[in-house]
Every structure is written in C-alpha cells, then in structure tokens.
Amino acid sequence: MKNIFLSGSFGMVGHNILDAFNGSSYNLFHPGRTELDLLDKNAVDTYFQFHKPDIVIHCAGKVGGIHANIAEPAYFLIDNMRMGLNLAEAAQKNNIRYFLNLGSSCMYPAHSQGLLTEDMILSGSLETTNEGYAIAKCAITRLCSYISRQFSGFHYKTIIPCNLYGKYDKFDPARSHMIASIIRKIDEAIKFRIPEVEIWGDGQARREFMYAGDLAQLVRMAVENFDDLPPVMNAGIGHDYTVDEYYQIIGRLFGYKGKFTHNLSKPSGMRRILLDVSLQLKFGFMPEHSLEAGIRETYEWYKTL
C-alpha cells in the first residue's frame, strides 16, 4: 500500500499524520478543500478514478468543542455523514480494498459505566451535547463493517481515538477542544493578569486525552500492519483525569497563580469517557507522550501562532 489518500490533512489529526509519514517511501495524496470538496460525491469519485490510491485514511470532519456542537448540531450531522459516505462509497466503487476510518469516543453511550469496549457502540443513547457528530461517526463505522462483510476482499476498519490535543489544534474559543481552550485561557490570564479562570460545569467530569502525534504514529503502524488491525479498535492512554485536574496541571506548568471558578449554568458533558485499550495493547501500541510532555509541545506550537 504505497499510495495513500488522506482526508483532512489540514486539520490537527491529518496534519500530524502527514508528519508521521514525512520522509517515508509512501506517496500521499492529501488534497485541500479547494482541490477536492469531500461533500461533492461526484468529485470524490472522479478523484479516486484518476489517482487510484491503495488505501484511504479518513480523518476529515467538521469538529469542535461543546459550544460549537450545541450551536450547529444539524451541520455536524450532515457534513460528517456526507463526507464519510462519499469517501467509503467511492472507495468501494473504485475497488480500493483498504480503508481506515477515524471514529470518536463520543460514539459510546452517554451513561455507560466503567471502561468503554468496542462492542458497546450503539448499545445506548448518546450524549446530547454532541449527538449529531456522534450519530455520523457511528454510521460511517457501521458502513465500514458492512462493506467488509458484503464485499469479498475489502478491509474497511475503524480506529476510535479518545479525546485529542496537540500541534495544529484550533485555539479559537468558539471552536476549540478542551485542552486547547485551557491553554489559551490560562496563557491569556497570565498575560493580562486575570485573577480568575472560568470552568464550564462542576469540573468533575472525567476525560482521557492523547497527544495527536501519538495517534498519528498509531495510524502509520496500522497502515504497515493492516491485516493485524482489529475491525474496530479503541486508541487511548488507558487512564483519565477530571476537568479540574486538567486546569490545575496546565496552570501549574504555566505558573498561573490565580484561581479557578465553576459556571454551573454551563454543561459538563458526559460524566466519564475512558476507553478500554486492551485491543490496542494487543496490537502492540502504547502512546509515547506523558500528559505534561504533550502539553509542553502543544504550548510551544501555540506560541508560534
């Protein structure tokens, strides 16, 4: 599989995947939105007919934090569903036998207890704050399974990462994920001597975050060992922290001396999201970066913006 098509190469995950393959012998096709509109079914089909990739890595998507998902649920469902459908259908139609889909931990039921295992997908209701995005991710994951089942010789698989952060993340307050948002808020609080930083909700929701560069290394490992990759596999670090703890850790790393307050009128999201990484460990992968090391690298990149 020397010719790789990568969607979403200008996003955080995609850009890190490009870095992971940098200097390798692989030939990557990674068109931007002006070159290929993934929402245009005919355009995707034509692109695959012409370039004939050996494998598709799908990590493009309309993404954002709680604020963005609440504000635009219809667009999060429509755009993510349409991109995934267009890519998977065009790949199968053009006899592309390998497809790696990137899912999301929000695909799991909102009120699950304990570790989240891959067989729990669609076993319960989803978290309402990002339900549209989650429905789209569940649908494309199922579609990959159906194509593999229905068409002989097709291997369409899904990696479900935990929450991510890292280089190339979005730091816009309206669209940023949690750790990027914390980095910006605390950095600005230090610069402008703001004595308090607000936390949405009660701060007790627990989250698992992995450095995006580590996920990119897993993606490369998956491409190079595709037959050994399970049909659906979680990707994470195997432990979590409360939202309050993330603020405290980042505040300590940056030397913030102010205090944190809670806005209880804002949603906290799911109480806990912690993936079972047993299949990942069996596959032979464990992330390299500690939380502190990943945050330092992310902050160094943020300062270049």
Question: Catalytic residue numbers?
Answer: 133
CA distance 81 to 47: 19
> CA angle, 280 as apex, 277 and 282 as ends, to 5°?
110
Helix (H) or strand (E) holding 220: helix 212-224
List Cβ neighbours of 189 (8 Å cut-off, separation of 6 or more).
Answer: 195, 196, 197, 256, 258
Tell the burial category of 212 from Cβ atoms under 10 Å away from its Cβ (0-12, 13-18, 19+): buried
N- to C-terminal Cα separation, the chain: 35
SS3 at position 145: helix
Helix axis angle for 12-21 and 212-224, nearest 10°, is 50
CA distance 113 to 61: 28
β-strand pairing of 3-7 with 27-29: parallel
CA distance 157 to 83: 16
CA distance 93 to 155: 14
Residue 65 has a CB neighbour count (10 Å cut-off) of 21
CA distance 128 to 175: 17
